[in-house]
Amino acid sequence: MAKKKKIIKSGLIVLIIILLGLQFFRPEKNIYNEVPTTDIAKTENMSKAVSNILVESCYDCHSNNTAYPWYNNIAPVNLFLNNHVKDGKRHLNFSEWANFG
């Protein structure tokens, strides 16, 4: 039984070291200061209400500008969110709307 506890303790120590080490590797954030001319808001004639809905509900994963939650500063959550945003942009990117078609 003591050997099993020692293995579990060693495993937890290794896991903690890995999680601490991951904190030093940060993926590049999806943040741009300008709205490109290819953005759907600039290329399509839509109401302000529709534009606001897209920005509030969709742009974090489907544009070139993401508003990250506080927990994005913790690995491995930041790695998961980075992959999620990349995948969302790969399927639909409102910032590149004019380039579709």
* Spans of all domains in the chain: 28-99
Model confidence pLDDT, tens digit, residues 3-33: 899 999 999 999 999 999 989 989 999 998 8
Helix (H) or strand (E) holding 80: helix 77-91
User: Residue 20 is encoded by which pair of tokens?
Assistant: 């601490």
The radius of gyration of the chain from alpha carbons, rounded to an integer in Å, stands at 20
User: Residue 33 is encoded by which pair of tokens?
Assistant: 């200061």
pTM for the model: 0.79
